[in-house]
Structure 1
Amino acid sequence: MLDLGQSAPAHRNDALHIVFQRGKLIMDMQSRQPCVLTDSDLSQNGWQVAREKYIGHWAGQACFAVEIDDIVDVDAMRYQVGNLYHLLGRVEDSLFALAGRAAQLLDWERDHRFCGRCGEPMQAADGDRAMGCGACKTMLYPRISPCVIVLITRGEEMLLARNARFPRPMYSSLAGFIEAGESAEDTLRREVREEVGVEVGEIEYFGSQSWPFPNQLMLGYFAEYASGDVTPDLDEIAEANWYHPQDLPPVPPPSSIAGQLIQYHCRRSQSR
């Protein structure tokens, strides 16, 4: 439903908005699309827009990411102020992606107000999604950090791990950032070896997901176990073990690509 092919309108009148305050997302608890607010919502609440970025067209309407003034009061009886995690599982994937895009664009503009090469102020480029430096002509585009996420399988069993930084017991597939000069497949094998001490054989690409925490592109894979004993590194991975589809621990929701990998493997195992 998000159309990136249309240019930004001349004004925000009658547009849709993804609204943030102090980096927190404002959600209408009375709406079926809680993160999408209208132009009248802004005016009726007296919210003054401090920054805005055009996102694209959503359901045929122009949509902006906006940040309102810090001193503005938000009605706690109607609006929830939180983060993108509050949307997981509550809205459809396309709407979550819209909110994630909004957050990433505002963060990118905030973090690139000055040129990292010469220190001069940056300005939004005309006709392009970029921040440009008038002094040294450096152009900076929204940052995307590619990551791999892999579900290792051994027959019907799958290797699931608990991250040492997870706030609650949750077991998921392994993931890691792609380093400079690496392919996605190189990263996959390295991360698996470093985090749980095993080697993998055949690799199968599954799909990708934009993951705005803060700016990741997750590349999902299946990998067949080849050799080695499961040995968590205890730095990033607190615990890892093999699990059967009929005896799973708490796992991520299907709104995440980790949850999708696990569900797909479970369905595939049942059909064999």
Structure 2
Amino acid sequence: MAAKTSATERPGDFLDDLSVQDNPNALKFVFSDGKLVLSHHELPASSELDTESLIPLGTYQGKSVLAGVLKGKIPDGLTAWNVRATYGVLPDDLFGLAGLAHQVTEFHRTHRYCGACATELQSGDPQGGLGRYRRCPHCGLSVYPRVAPAVIVLISRGEGPDTEFLLARGPRQAPGVYTTLAGFVEPSETLENAVQREILEEVGVHVGNIRYQFSQPWPFPHSLMLAFTARYDSGEITPQPGEIEDAQWFPALQLPSIPPPFTSSRRLIDEALSTLSLTTR
């Protein structure tokens, strides 16, 4: 059984099983306009919701896990949440499953018809095979849930307690929060080249000694974060217009507000500080 190291991961004892059926004890993640429907900060009971066709995901602790879309309006007493905002509201294991459910329901919503011939897609293999893909019965095109790889990088310079981190903030960042730099991997590009390109594009500096650290699913809506550290090489900070509002070198002992613990950015910073025998505030 795989260890779960991030709240955005599916739990280690979750099992893929696309044959599971709905039942009174099932865990159902139901969405309305892309938001997760909750009842008093918990998953609603099956009887509280009228859903469109359910998508089987697997089993968790002996319970079937399914995802679906709410039919009609949200009933009184229930609320719709941005999935990311349910961190700390749902237990970590359910938060991870909510991310999986969100990715799969969004895949079904955005891949209803074949991109080659416009025929309505079917789930899985009509000959009896199981898979999360959708298949065109007319031309045979198969499409799979999108997973977009993105690199995220903590850049440092200096040594020991004199270490500094290059952190930045963009227009979509929470007020006052600075984070590590990140960007999507381009076609036919290595991860290491993506690190160098993104850093140069966003802040105008060159980096070296690029080292892979860990990966983290980021289902907001469909990324896989690949975390790296890198050492500053050369160049002056030049924020990319429209992408970066501000970027600065911050002493490791005087960091600004940084992202919450479930993020790759925070983990990179915390682990770097740990090697320096320092901690975040």
Q: Say yes or no: TM over 0.5.
A: yes
* Unmatched segments (≥5 aa) in structure 1: none
In the alignment, residue 42 of structure 1 is paired with which amino acid? S
The alpha-carbon deviation at position 225 of structure 1 amounts to: 0.8
Matched, 1:233 2:206: no
Query: In the alignment, which residue of structure 2 is the partner of 1:116?
Result: 115
1:106-185 superposed matches below 5 A: 106-126=105-125, 127-155=130-158, 156-185=163-192
Which residue identity does 2:272 align to in structure 1?
Answer: H
Name 1:42's counterpart in structure 2. 46
- By how many angstroms is 1:92 displaced? 4.9
1:48-106 deviations in whole A, cap 9, x for unaligned? 1113211221222111112111234231xxx4321112122444544322111101100
> C-alpha offsets along residues 215-251 of structure 1, whole Å, 9 cap, x if unaligned?
0000001001111111111320110011122211111
- Identical residues among aligned pairs (%): 37
Show CA shifts across 1:23-50 (max 9, x none): 21112335xxx3x44xxx121x2x2111
Aligned equivalents of 1:187, 1:263: Cα separation in 2? 23
Q: Secondary structure at the match of 1:170?
A: coil
Instruction: Give, as a single letter, the amino acid of the residue that structure 1 aligns with 2:26.
Output: A
Deviation at 1:3, TM superposition (A): 2.1
Letter in 1 for 2:192: E
What are the within-5 Å matches in structure 2 for residues 85-96 of structure 1? 85-96=84-95
Whose strand fraction is larger, Structure 1's or Structure 2's? Answer: 1
Alignment partners' CA distance in 2, 1:102 and 1:257? 21
User: Once structures 1 and 2 are overlaid, which stretch shifts more, 197-206 or 58-67?
Assistant: 58-67
Are 2:38 and 1:27 equivalent residues in the alignment?
A: yes
Is residue 68 of structure 1 aligned with residue 70 of structure 2? Answer: yes
C-alpha RMSD of the superposition: 1.7
In structure 2, stretches of 5+ residues that fail to align are 1-10
Query: TM-score, normalization: structure 1?
Result: 0.89
* Number of residue equivalences: 259
Deviations 1:171-194 (A, max 9, x none): 000000000000111100000001
2-side partners of 1:125 and 1:213: how far apart? 24
Secondary structure in 2 matching 1:206: strand
Q: Which residue identity is paired with 1:154? A: R
TM-score w.r.t. length of structure 2? 0.86
* Preserved contact between residue 157 and residue 243 of structure 1 (Cα < 8 Å): yes
Structure 2 match to 1:200 = 207
Give the equivalent residue in structure 2 for 1:99.
Answer: 98
Aligned to 2:8: none
Find the counterpart in structure 2 of residue 217 from structure 1.
224
**Aligned letter for 2:143?**
L
Contact 1:101–1:212 (8 Å) recurs in 2: yes
3-state SS, counterpart of residue 256 of structure 2: coil
